[in-house]
Amino acid sequence: MNRLTEVTKSEDIFPEYRETPIGLLLEFQNLNKPLDEIAYSQAQLLIGMCMDNRKHLHIPDNFAYIIRAGGANLRYSEFKVSYAIAVGNIRHIVLIAHNNCGMVNLIARKEQFVNGLVTKAGWDKEWAEEHFMHFAPMFEIGNEIDFVISEAKRLRLRYPRMTVAPLFYKVEDNRLYLVNEQ
Are β-strands 64-68 and 45-49 bridged in parallel, bridged antiparallel, or unpaired?
A: parallel
CA distances from 11 to 8, 82, 138 (A): 8, 32, 38
Burial of 80 (0-12, 13-18, 19+ CB in 10 A): middle
Taking only the tens place, the pLDDT of each residue in 13-29 is 999 999 999 999 999 99
Taking only the tens place, the pLDDT of each residue in 121-175 is 999 999 999 999 999 999 999 999 999 999 999 999 999 999 999 999 999 999 9
Taking only the tens place, the pLDDT of each residue in 84-110 is 999 999 999 999 999 999 999 999 999
Residues 130 and 153 in one domain: no
At 47, the pLDDT band (50, 70, 90 cuts) reads very high
Residues 109 and 150 in one domain: no
* Best CA proximity match to 85, nearest among 174, 156, 25: 156
Q: What is the pLDDT of residue 182?
A: 83
Residues 147 and 136 in one domain: no
What's the start-to-end Cα distance of the chain, in Å?
13
Residues 40 and 119 in one domain: no
Q: Is the pTM of this model over 0.85?
A: yes
Residues 98 and 151 in one domain: yes
Distance from C-alpha of 102 to C-alpha of 34, rounded to nearest angstrom: 32
At 76, the pLDDT band (50, 70, 90 cuts) reads very high
What's the total number of domains in the chain?
2
Taking only the tens place, the pLDDT of each residue in 107-121 is 999 999 999 999 999
What is the CATH number for 17? 3.40.1050.10
Residues 117 and 156 in one domain: no
Query: What proportion of the chain, given as a percentage, has pLDDT over 70?
Result: 99
Q: What is the pLDDT of residue 37?
A: 78
Angle between helices 110-121 and 125-139 (to 10 degrees): 130
Residues 15 and 95 in one domain: yes
Residues 98 and 51 in one domain: yes
Domain of 130 in residue numbering reads as: 105-140
Residues 95 and 120 in one domain: no
